[in-house]
Chain A
Amino acid sequence: MKQYTLKVGFFTAIIELIRGLFVTLKHLFMPSVTIQYPTQRRPVAEGFRGLHKLNVDKNGQLLCVGCGLCARHCPAEAIKLTCVPMDKPDAQGCDKKVDSYVIDISRCIFCGLCVDACPKDAISMTGCYEMSCYHRDKMIYDIERLTREPEVTRYR
């Protein structure tokens, strides 16, 4: 410091110090940038490709008609679905029902091609990005888990 003061002069050194501290001071009074995850979260952007969601209509029926295009387009082969014929056709005249719809999230690469492929807008992607778990079985998402709102772990 002494040598630095001698080199640039006393006043310059002081000014530089004050300028540096001014930035610190300024930031002291500015809102903080650090987000206290997991108690605080950033809002996710529109179009974020998080966990899938199977959409339902106002009666709670799945919009999915089981065409299998999502499974067809999935590059990671993460989607598997089976369908069964119903005894009676529904109001739209469709007698096909999705029996099981499973996404293996550990395989999914979140490319969103399934959403693009869906002709009925029956699958969409939510902002949920917290899917880590302690057991691989939990990575398999079935209809029940895919239709409800994604679970978000709250700590406070």
Chain B
Amino acid sequence: MVTLTIDGKQITVAKGTMILEAAEMAGVKIPALCADNRLIGFGACRMCVVQLKGRRSLIPSCFNPVKDGMEVITNSPEIIESRRGQLQLILAEHPLDCPVCDKAGECQLQDLVYEYGVNDNPYRMKAIKKAVERLSPLIERDMNRCILCGKCVRICNEVQGVGEISFINRGIKAYIGTDFDRPMECEFCGQCISVCPVGALNSKMFKYKTRVWDLKNETTLCPYCSNGCTLVLGIKDNEIKRVTGNYDAGINEGNLCSKGRFGYEFVSSPERLKKPLIKKDGRFEEAGWDEALNLAAAKFNEIKAASGADSIGGLGSARLTNEELYLFQRLIRQGIGTNNIDHNGRYQGLLALRESLGACGSTNSLHEIRKTKAILLIRANLNETHPNVRIEVNLAVNRNRASLIVADNKRTLLSRQAQANLTYKPGTEVALINGIINQVIKLELADKTFVNNKTEGLDALQTSVERYTPEYVEEICGVNKQELELAARAYAKAEKSCIIVATGMGLVGNDRDIALASSNLALLTGNVGKESCGVYILPEKNNSQGALEMGAVPGFLPGYKSVKKAGLGTAEMLESGKLKAMYIVGENPILTYPSSKVKEILEKMEFLVVQDMFMTPTAELADVVLPACSFAEKDGTYTNLEQRVQSLKNLKKILPCPGESRSDLEIFIDLCTRLGCDVDMQQEIKAGSLAISSAPNFSRDTWKGKFIPVEYGKDASLASDGKLLLVSSPSHLYSGTLSAWSPYLLGIGEACIELCMNDASRLGVRDNNMVVVSSKNAELKLKARISHDVPDGVGVVHTYPTINVMCLFGKEMMPIIGSVEQVI
């Protein structure tokens, strides 16, 4: 610790802290245009100059670390004159088009010019007029306004790890741009827009919509992935105008991805359902709430009396709040009387950790990733699935010099930074992890004291992994020996290392086996139950974790209490045809479920109730459609991937629900009453929280991890005679339950099949050609993309909201052999 004085205030800070940060802690404001809490000091703007007692020169405080006994002066006439001079130099080139600049009102330069009263400018120069880049989707770049602080370049490199933009040219000709001035082709997280201190980088969606001072900023949660980021919604005229992050609020430190930042249009979409609809003679007619709910309750009771309660099923969504999910499972279990309840999330990976580690879900918290020393990513294309977890990985690799091992069936964006790239043949994850375990045992890298004290069942694991020798693994997975040994050494030798596995509908592979094999590896190396270690199983949607805890699954009651007789899961409900009636809430299985038969099955249903915000293809088949509210218009809590329960903010007052739509909770309460199970909300919520708190807690002393050996079952040989092995790759747009209604967001991705050069030339396919992809399950027309990331003989199908590419794979969601033909 270092003690120093800033403007007479004494403060003790950690060693290595910069003067600027120390001043912020001491409550002394030092102006800076190029500094950000998330970035390393850069010293581009020279606004943060301070004086040290006993030294004549001015020093920039953003990259000068503190020293013991330092006496810092931040406000002397000399400093102020220097800052004024600096602002005058910036203003010599900066156009004063504040009236048409969207940044006006929150522009840091504007504020500083006002604060320092710069109304004269001795520097006269004719600024070079630069073109405004308007070709990129979502982001507009006006280099005339740029002050070259480099924040956008640094956040793109340091935090996002993308490196799309950079400084181009030197001196007076310098500007921020892409290589050869092409339009941007990145993932459009918009982080560059958010850090820009002036109006050089603008969001096209927010452009000229309103002035920032008119916005009412409200903090709430992101409805997309399970990271649970905090959003700041800028609302005016009953409409969300923009979304920003806030460094001080939430776990995301103000970082947002493209979904969070640009995917808000669905809330104020004109296509939102406004009134309950009842199908009469094949056409929807508007109805009142009482009529619709009475009909639903009466029909459910009728079917229950006629063919038993087990002929009714409830399909919830992992996008509902915890309270709603709890009530939904009560509605199905008590109101209807069946255990046929599920949500359309792939949660086997999360549940598997209960068997081996006793924790359902990730074992450690999100910010611990950045302090770890080695990261093993298994089948986790984090750029697409969990962009903000990727930031943590990126920080660990770049700032903490962690070694990164990427095991995926193709090269991902993170592969560039990886120490070892294990590109395995699709579907062979388990063999690969077992191979690493084998290497760890062989190289004697296992943590013996941990294994002896804290685990059981090592012998079974040892015999099970014996046959996964590097040669065998090379034969199955196609990963060479050296890479495997390198990965095993990097993972096991590091003092802290963690494993990250992504789960979700758009990923192929056996989640349960992958999760168990990963936990075996973590246990063997003693990387469980410590800081910055552990196994992270990343759930897909914002409340996938909560849906499990709330018991919206056929096998568990809230708090993972087992049921007597498990009901039907999603797969049986949607494919067996056993059900007579269904209640689907916030899901669109026709476009998201890996089967092409769902439509037939749902059409055959006697009675179908769909509760959604939009008229989805599933809702079109329904007999009763109930309009629901969006995340911004209701109360509730979401549980994120580190099991943190965060609450939504109800913005109904400034963001009214369209038409008569109600929140899911209100609908469930109404329907519960009509189905004869009275609910008292206060008591319900109390019962729900009781159910959660009564879930088994494990204590540090008695906890024991279990090795559960998993075997690599099938022989996934590569497809021969012109066929390809198809795998899916989730896009950041997910299934489209929300993103399909955000037109701007849809513009930055497309459904396509990625092929490697060799396969493409063999099949006679060129870039951007339309091809027919067929497997034994389905046939699809997609665009072909030729890429260098995909290994030979593999076709990577990218998911997209409006096309159900998952139906190629069938409900097993395993890699499948398929053929690709060009259409002319």
Q: Which residues of A contact B (CB under 8 A)?
A: 65-69, 71-72, 82-85, 89, 93-96, 119-120
Contacts and interface: CB of A to CB of B under 8 A. Distances in A.
A119 B99 CA distance: 8
A72 B99 contact: no
Interface stretch (B206-214, B258-266, B283-291): B206-214
A65 B204 CA distance: 18
B99 A85 contact: no
A36 to B, nearest CB: 45
A65 B99 contact: yes
A72 B99 CA distance: 12
A84 B211 contact: no
Given A72-B213, A89-B132, A67 B208 contact: no
Contacts of B39: none
Contacts of B209: 83
Contacts of A93: 129, 132
Interface in B206-250: 207-211, 213-214
**Chain A to chain B: the 6 pairs with minimum beta-carbon distance, closest first:** A67-B99, A68-B211, A83-B208, A65-B99, A96-B100, A65-B100
B208 A85 contact: yes
Contact of A66 (B99, B129, B132, B214): B99
Contacts of B701: none
B98 interface: yes
Given A67-B99, A71-B214, A95-B132, 12 more contacts: A65-B100, A66-B208, A68-B211, A68-B214, A69-B99, A72-B214, A82-B210, A85-B204, A85-B208, A93-B132, A94-B97, A94-B100
Contact-size category for B: 10 to 19
20 contacts: A66-B100, A66-B208, A67-B98, A67-B100, A68-B210, A71-B211, A72-B211, A72-B213, A72-B214, A82-B210, A83-B209, A84-B208, A85-B204, A85-B208, A89-B132, A93-B129, A94-B97, A96-B100, A96-B208, A119-B98
B104 interface: yes
Chain A binding site: helix, strand, loop or mixed by DSSP? loop
Nearest to A99: B208
A82 B210 CA distance: 7
A71 B212 CA distance: 12
B211 A120 contact: no
A151 B209 CA distance: 32
Interface in B99-134: 99-100, 104, 129, 132
B207 A85 contact: yes
A108 to B, nearest CB: 19
B137 to A, nearest CB: 14
A89 B207 CA distance: 14
A119 B214 CA distance: 18
Nearest to B99: A67
A69 B214 CA distance: 11
Q: Which of A66, A68, A84 has the most CB of B within 10 A?
A: A68
A72 B208 CA distance: 15
A79 B98 CA distance: 20
Interface in B171-220: 204, 207-211, 213-214
A120 B99 contact: yes
Interface string B149-187: 000000000000000000000000000000000000000
A137 to B, nearest CB: 20
A67 B132 contact: no
Interface in B68-107: 97-100, 104
A135 B40 CA distance: 62
Contacts of A83: 208-209
A67 B211 CA distance: 8
Contacts of A120: 99
A85 B363 CA distance: 48
Interface of B: 97-100, 104, 129, 132, 204, 207-211, 213-214
B98 to A, nearest CB: 7
Contacts of B129: 93
B594 to A, nearest CB: 41
A68 B105 CA distance: 11
Contacts of B100: 65-67, 94, 96
A71 B208 CA distance: 15
Nearest to B212: A68
A127 to B, nearest CB: 27
A95 B204 CA distance: 12
A96 B134 CA distance: 14
Contacts of A72: 211, 213-214
A105 to B, nearest CB: 21
A32 B257 CA distance: 77
A149 to B, nearest CB: 26
Nearest to B211: A68
Contacts of A84: 208
A71 B214 CA distance: 9
Contacts of B210: 68, 82
Nearest to A72: B213
B82 to A, nearest CB: 29
Given A85-B208, A89-B132, A120-B99, A67 B213 contact: no
A89 B129 CA distance: 14
Contact of B104 (A67, A82, A94, A95): A67
A143 to B, nearest CB: 16
Contacts of B97: 94
A99 B129 CA distance: 27
Nearest to B102: A96
B111 to A, nearest CB: 16
A89 B208 CA distance: 14
A19 B582 CA distance: 106
Contacts of A66: 99-100, 208
Contacts of A94: 97, 100
A91 to B, nearest CB: 13
A95 B134 CA distance: 11
A66 to B, nearest CB: 7
Nearest to A67: B99
A120 B204 CA distance: 25
Contacts of A96: 100, 208
B294 to A, nearest CB: 43
Nearest to A80: B237
Contacts of B208: 66, 83-85, 96
Contacts of B104: 67
A120 B98 CA distance: 11
A68 B214 CA distance: 9
Contacts of A67: 98-100, 104, 211
A72 B104 CA distance: 12
B236 to A, nearest CB: 10
Q: Which of B208, B213, B214 has the most CB of A within 10 A?
A: B208
A82 B208 CA distance: 8
A95 B101 CA distance: 10
A133 B213 CA distance: 34
B105 to A, nearest CB: 8
A152 B316 CA distance: 66
B198 to A, nearest CB: 16
Contacts of B207: 85
A84 B205 CA distance: 11
Nearest to B214: A68
A131 to B, nearest CB: 26
Contacts of B99: 65-67, 69, 119-120
Q: Which of B97, B98, B210, B213 has the most CB of A within 10 A?
A: B97
B89 to A, nearest CB: 23
Q: Which of B100, B207, B214 has the most CB of A within 10 A?
A: B100
Contacts of B214: 68, 71-72
Nearest to B142: A93
A72 B100 CA distance: 15
A79 to B, nearest CB: 12
A71 B99 CA distance: 13
B200 to A, nearest CB: 14
A63 to B, nearest CB: 11
Contacts of A82: 210
A84 B210 CA distance: 9
Nearest to A118: B99
